[in-house]
Amino acid sequence: MIIVADEGIDKQIVDKLSEMTFSVIYIAEMSPGITDDEVLSIANDNDTLLITADKDFGELVIRLQKANKGVVLFRLAGLPSSSKADIAADVFRNYTDKLLHSFTVVTPAGIRIRPANLP
With a cut of 70, say whether residue 34 has pLDDT above it.
yes
Could you report the per-residue pLDDT of 11-25, keeping only the tens digit for each?
Answer: 999 999 999 989 999
Amino acid in position 110: G
pLDDT in the model for residue 117: 58
What does the DSSP 8-state code read for residue 117?
P
| Boundaries of every domain in the chain | 11-104
Could you report the per-residue pLDDT of 52-98, keeping only the tens digit for each?
Answer: 999 999 899 888 888 889 999 999 999 999 999 999 999 999 999 89
With a cut of 80, say whether residue 116 has pLDDT above it.
no
